[in-house]
Structure formats: C-alpha cells, structure tokens
C-alpha cells in the first residue's frame, strides 16, 4: 500500500491552514501517512494556475498515492467535491476545473460535508478526511457515487490558434520563479518563431535554442515541463517583456518574415 499524500493549495504558509489539514490527515491515518507539499503558493483563487501545476506534476505522482488539491473560491456553495483516478493515483478536491487537464479514467462524488463542518474550509473538514480514508482504504471509492468524466468541469485554458497571416497565438501558462514564461505550446507542434508580438503590439526578436545559456537575447526553447518557454539567459523574461499568466502573445514564424 502506498501511504504517500501530496498537497497543493493557495493557502500560503503564513497561516496554519496547511498544518491543520496535515494534522487531520495524520490523525486519521494514525501518523502513518507521508505528506509531500507540491506547492501552497498558487495565486489566491487561481484555479487555472492550480490546474497547470497538477497537469505538469501528475506524470510523476506514483500509482496508489493521493493528491489533495484545494483551490476553492466556491467553497460552501453547490459545487461538488470529487475523487478522480489518474494513472492509479487519486486526486481529491473541488470540481471547478482544477482537474480538467488530467487524463482522468474514473471519478466519484464525495459525500456531502458532515454536520459541524466549516462552510469555508472544506480542505480541512472534507478533503483531508477523504484523502486519509483513501490512503487507508482505496476501495472506498466503490461505495461513492460515480461521476461521468464528461460531466466534470473543464479547465478554462486558451490553446494555440493559427492566425490568417501564419502567426501562432499562444497563452502564457505560468511564470516560474526565474521569470521564465511557460507557454501552452508543445515542441511537437514544430513551430519555429523568429519574433514575438506582445499584447500591446511591441515586437521582439527571439532565438530558438536548447539551453538557457546559448544566447544573450530572448530565447525560445522547450522547458523541463515539456512545454515551450520564453526565457532570458541570466535574467527574467517576464520582467523584460511585462508578461503575466493568461496573457496572449503572437509567435511569428520565420517564413512569415519573407
């Protein structure tokens, strides 16, 4: 039995919210669970940012483990709590698009909150106990109400679109701690830009490379998460270009400049 549990939230670490969740899990599991923090620094209420981090992390989550993800601006409303099975691991949290990018095989609805549960902290009072139950008894899901995968709330992600002039419009998926701009774009698309156009119309040249240290200018390369990135060697691309998560930029192919 895998007793590893992963946590992701927008709670930060200034308050004791994360510790309270861990305390509930450890109490329910008699201290036998191994808890790993994915991140608690998601922008407050940003379901799409949480979905990104789950998407790039899920391939590394061992089968049999449990992930509790709590980005929950609709806590206490009619939105449902769910358990989703992804490659043999269970993902627990609100059905609000947080799991919409994952290759879900099966899903179930969690029971309604018990009497005395907080209306504003389902992470501690609903999702933490459910995750502990799954660590102790994975077969518990068979007693839950099944949910059709097609009925789960999708993630609100703008995927790449080809423009009439041959440019490719792409969204910024994430800005990492180094200021690298991660795009919703895979290397498999084999698009080779020579320039990028920012939301305000400014155009900058880019150099396609394989590492961060090959060129002093603005770089276009495949990052460690499998997605394409805009980077600056030794600097912050997001500060230089003024881009934020969710912005749309235009990549201009080499052929478009002829």
Four-residue CA torsion sign, 225, 226, 228, 230: positive
- The pLDDT tens digits of the residues spanning 35-94 come to 999 999 999 999 999 999 999 999 999 999 999 999 999 999 999 999 999 999 999 999
Q: Which of residues 103, 121, 151 is at a domain's end?
A: 151
pTM (two decimals): 0.92
Please indicate, yes or no, whether residues 205 and 128 belong to a single structural domain of this protein: no
Question: Is it the case that residue 201 has pLDDT exceeding 70?
Answer: yes
The per-residue pLDDT for 256 is 53
Domain termination residue (choose one: 130, 151, 172): 151
Q: Are residues 167 and 244 in the same domain?
A: yes
Residues 131 and 184 in one domain: no
Of all residues in the chain, what percent carry a pLDDT higher than 90? 86
Mean pLDDT across the chain = 94
**Which pair of structure tokens corresponds to residue 255?**
């052929």
Q: Check pLDDT > 60 for residue 257.
A: no
Domain housing 180? 161-257
147 with 183, same domain: the answer is no
The number of folded domains in the chain is 2
Last residue of a domain, which of 90, 118, 151?
151
Question: Domain for residue 63, yes or no?
Answer: yes
96 and 35 part of one domain:
yes
Question: What is the three-state SS of the chain?
Answer: CCCEEEEEECCCCCCCHHHHHHHHHHHHCCCCCEEEEEECCCCCCCHHHHHHHHHHHHHHCCCCCEEEEECCCCCCCCCCEEEEEECCEEEEEECCCCCCCCCCCEEEECCCCCCCCCCCCHHHHHHHHHHHHHHHCHHHHHHCEECCHHHCCCCCCCCCEECCCCCEEEEEEEECCCCCEEEEEEHHHCCCEEEEECCCCCEEECEECCCCCCCCCEEEEECCCCEEEEEECCECHHHHHCCCCCCEEEEEEHHHHC
Q: How confident is the model at residue 188 (pLDDT cuts 50, 70, 90)?
A: low
Q: CATH number of the domain that 130 lies in?
A: 3.40.50.10790
In the block, tokens 């969690």 appear at 110
Calculate mean pLDDT across residues 179-200. Answer: 90
Is the predicted pLDDT of residue 28 greater than 80, yes or no?
yes
- Report pLDDT for 45: 96
CATH assignment of the domain containing 172: 2.40.30.90
The reply to whether 246 falls in a domain is: yes
From residue 84, alpha-carbon distances to 7, 58, 102, 178, 247 in Å are: 15, 12, 9, 32, 29
Q: What pLDDT sits at residue 258?
A: 45
Q: What is the pLDDT of residue 255?
A: 63
Are both 146 and 168 inside the same structural domain? no
Q: Does 18 share its domain with 113? A: yes
156 found inside a domain: no
Q: pLDDT class for 187, splitting at 50, 70, 90?
A: confident
Q: What percent of the chain has pLDDT over 70?
A: 97
């Amino acid at each position: 039995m895998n007793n590893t549990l992963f946590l992701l939230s927008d709670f930060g670490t200034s308050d004791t919210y994360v510790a309270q969740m861990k305390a509930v899990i450890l109490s329910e599991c008699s201290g036998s669970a191994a808890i790993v923090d994915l991140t608690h620094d998601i922008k407050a209420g940003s379901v799409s940012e949480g979905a990104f981090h789950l998407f790039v992390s899920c391939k590394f989550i061992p089968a049999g483990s449990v992930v509790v993800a709590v980005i929950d601006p609709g806590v206490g409303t009619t939105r449902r709590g769910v358990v989703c099975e992804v490659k043999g691991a269970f993902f627990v949290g609100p059905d609000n698009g947080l799991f919409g990018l994952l290759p879900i095989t099966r899903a179930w609805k969690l029971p309604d909150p018990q009497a005395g549960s907080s209306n504003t902290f389902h992470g501690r009072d609903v999702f933490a106990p459910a995750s502990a139950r799954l660590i102790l008894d994975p077969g518990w899901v068979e007693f839950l109400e099944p949910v059709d995968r097609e009925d789960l709330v999708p993630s609100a992600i703008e995927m790449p679109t080809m423009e009439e002039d041959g440019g490719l419009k792409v969204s910024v998926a994430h800005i990492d701690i180094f200021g690298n701009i991660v795009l919703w774009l895979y290397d498999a698309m084999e698009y080779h830009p020579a320039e990028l156009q920012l939301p305000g119309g400014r155009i900058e040249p880019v150099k396609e490379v394989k590492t961060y240290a090959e060129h002093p200018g603005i770089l276009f390369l495949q990052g460690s998460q499998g997605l394409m990135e805009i980077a600056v060697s030794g600097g912050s691309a997001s500060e230089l270009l003024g881009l934020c998560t969710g912005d749309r930029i235009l990549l201009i192919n080499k052929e478009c400049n002829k």
